[in-house]
Structure 1
Amino acid sequence: MVAATDRWVRRHNRRTRWFHAGVYLMTLTLLGTGWWLLAGQEGHPSPLARITGTPDTTLHTMVGWAFVVLAGAGLALGFRAVRTFATESVRFRRTDLRWFARWPAATLTGRFSYHDGHFDPGQRLINLALVGGLFALIGSGAGMASLHGGPVFAVLVQVHIWATYLVTVLIAGHVAVACGVLPGYRGVWRSMHLGGRLDRSVAFRLWPGWSARQEPVSLGAYVLEALDPVETARVEEHLRNCVSCQAEVADMRTTVRRIGKASGDSRRS
C-alpha cells in the first residue's frame, strides 16, 4: 500500500454526475411548475412556461414522463450503482447514533463523528426519504395522467401533493448542504461538479471510512516511521477507528521487533 499524495479524490464518476444533473434539473422543473399550479396560477404562464412557450400543465406532464424514462434508464443501465446506493443507504451501525448526537455542532465546526459508510448516517435517511418521495410523485403522477376523475384519482391527487411537500423540503435541505451554507459542509459541492474532484481534506472530514478505502494509507511506512507528519496524523486518525488496521499494525510491529532482535543476535555472534 502507498500513501496518497494527490490533493484531490474523485467521489463520483461521470455517468453518476450526469444522472444526478438530469434528476435535479427535472425535479426542480417539476417542483417549480407544480408549486405554480398548486398556487392556483393555471392559465397564468410561469416564467419557465414563457421561456419554453409551453403551458405549465403540459410542461409538468412532459417533464414527468421524461423523469420516468430517466429513472428507468438509470435502473437498467446502472444496476451496480443502484445496488450500491440501496445497500449503503439502508445500512445501520450503533456508532451512527454518536454521529447524529454530534451532527448539530458539526454542521458549524466540521468535526463530524467517524463513520465507515459511503454515505454519512444523515445522508442515508435523506436518500431513503427522497427516493420514496420521488417514487410517490412518479407513481401518483402517472396514475393521474391515466385517469380522469373518480375516487382513486382523488387519492392520487392527495398523494401527489403531500409528496411534493416532502420532496420540496428534502431538496431545499440538500441544496443548502451542497452549497456550503452550513460551514461544516463547505467544499462538498465539488463532489458532483467540476469533474467530481473533491479536496481530500473535505472527503476525510465528511466520509472518513470511505476516503481511507479509496486512498489506503501506508501502514508499513507508518510502522517504520517513514511518513511525513501530515500523513502520520492521517494514519493515526484512521487507526483510532479501524480495528482491522490496528491488528495489522500490531502484527507489523511484532515482525519488526523480531527482525531487530534476530539482527542483534546475529551481530553479537
Structure 2
Amino acid sequence: MATDHRSRLPVATVERNRRGTRWLHAGIYVSTLFLLATGGWLWLGREGDPTVLAAITGVPDIDLHKIIGVLLAGLGLVGAGYWLRRIGGFLRETFRWDAGDLRWLARWPVAVFTGRFRRHEGDFDPGQRLANLILVGGLLILVLSGLGLIMVRGGPLFVVLHWLHLVVTFPVAAMIIGHVLIASGVLPGYRGAWRAMHLGGRLPRTVARRLWPAWLERHDQGHNVP
C-alpha cells in the first residue's frame, strides 16, 4: 500500500525552457526538417517528381526550398532580436570549457545507456555545446549560402556557394538525426529529457539533476528553492 501511495505522489518538476524559447525551437526544427526533405529530394535529382508537400501546395520543390529557407532566415532574425540580451549568455555557455569536460565526453558513450553522466558545470553538457556549434553554425552557413544562391546568377561565386551549401548540409543533418534520437528518449540516459522542450518545458527534477546538475543548483539559488 505504501508503494501505491508513493506512486501517486506528484513528481517535482522544474522549468528548463520558457515558452518563447520552445516556440522558436519548434519553428526552427520544423523549418529545417522541411528544408532537409525538399533539399534531399532535389539532391537526388527528383525535381521532376513533386513531393507530397509540393503536390499539396502546387509549388515546385525548388521554390518551396527557397521560400522555407527565407522563412527560416526571418525566424532567426526575429529570434535574435527578441533574445538579444540572452545571446551573450548562450554563446558564453556554448564556448565554455571546464576541467573534466574531456572525461565527460569519454564517458558519454556508456552514460547514454546507464544514465551515469559525469558532473559538468555548464548550462549545457559538453556534448550539447559541440552540437550547438555544429547546428547553429551550420544552419547559419546554410541560410547565408542559400540566400546567396537565390541572389547570384551563375559564375564562380555561385559554384562556391553551392559547394558550401551541399558540404555543410551533411554534418547538420547528422546532428539533427542525433538530436532527435536523444530527445526521443530511446536512449535510457536521456529518458525524460524531451520534456525540456515540450509540454510546458518542465521536466522532473531527477532528470534535470542527472543531466544538468550545476544548472539546477543555480536555478534553485536564483528562485530561493530550499
- TM-score normalized by the length of structure 2: 0.91
Q: Is residue 155 of structure 2 the alignment partner of residue 150 of structure 1?
A: yes
Q: For residue 52 of structure 1, what is the aligned residue in structure 2?
A: 57
- Which amino acid is the alignment partner of residue 26 of structure 1? S
Q: Is residue 30 of structure 2 the alignment partner of residue 25 of structure 1?
A: yes
Return the match for 2:138 from 129, 133, 142: 133
How far the C-alpha of 1:193 sits from its partner, in A, is 0.3
Q: Is residue 192 of structure 2 the alignment partner of residue 187 of structure 1?
A: yes
How far the C-alpha of 1:53 sits from its partner, in A, is 2.4
Q: For residue 11 of structure 1, what is the aligned residue in structure 2?
A: 16
Distance 1:160 1:106 in 2: 34
Runs of 4+ in structure 1 deviating by more than 2 angstroms, as ranges, are: none
How far the C-alpha of 1:52 sits from its partner, in A, is 2.4
SS across alignment from 2:104: helix
Distance 2:86 2:35 in 1: 25
Structure 2 unaligned spans of 5+:
1-9
Tell me the alpha carbon deviations over residues 173-212 of structure 1, each in whole angstroms, 9 at most, x when there is no partner: 0000000121100110000000001111110000011011
Distance 1:66 1:143 in 2: 15
Q: For residue 35 of structure 1, what is the aligned residue in structure 2?
A: 40
Distance 1:39 1:86 in 2: 36
SS across alignment from 2:209: helix
Distance 1:116 1:93 in 2: 7
Identical pairs, percent: 52
Tell me the alpha carbon deviations over residues 69-107 of structure 1, each in whole angstroms, 9 at most, x when there is no partner: 111111111112222211100000111112112111100
How far the C-alpha of 1:6 sits from its partner, in A, is 6.5
Q: For residue 121 of structure 2, what is the aligned residue in structure 1?
A: 116
- Which amino acid is the alignment partner of residue 76 of structure 2? A
Q: Is residue 175 of structure 2 the alignment partner of residue 170 of structure 1?
A: yes
Tell me the alpha carbon deviations over residues 138-190 of structure 1, each in whole angstroms, 9 at most, x when there is no partner: 11101100011101101110101111111110100000000012110011000
Q: Is residue 217 of structure 2 the alignment partner of residue 212 of structure 1?
A: yes
Q: For residue 262 of structure 1, what is the aligned residue in structure 2?
A: none
**Structure whose alpha-carbon radius of gyration is higher:** 1
Higher mean alpha-carbon deviation, 14-23 vs 41-50, is at 41-50
Distance 2:78 2:211 in 1: 30
How far the C-alpha of 1:51 sits from its partner, in A, is 2.5
For the 8 Å contact 2:11–2:204, the answer to whether it is kept is: no
Q: For residue 88 of structure 1, what is the aligned residue in structure 2?
A: 93
- TM-score normalized by the length of structure 1: 0.77
For the 8 Å contact 2:98–2:121, the answer to whether it is kept is: no
- Which amino acid is the alignment partner of residue 23 of structure 1? I
Distance 1:216 1:103 in 2: 28
Distance 1:63 1:200 in 2: 37
Distance 2:30 2:199 in 1: 17
Distance 1:92 1:198 in 2: 26
SS across alignment from 2:186: coil
Q: For residue 232 of structure 1, what is the aligned residue in structure 2?
A: none
- Which amino acid is the alignment partner of residue 103 of structure 2? R
Distance 1:53 1:182 in 2: 40
Structure 1 unaligned spans of 5+:
222-269
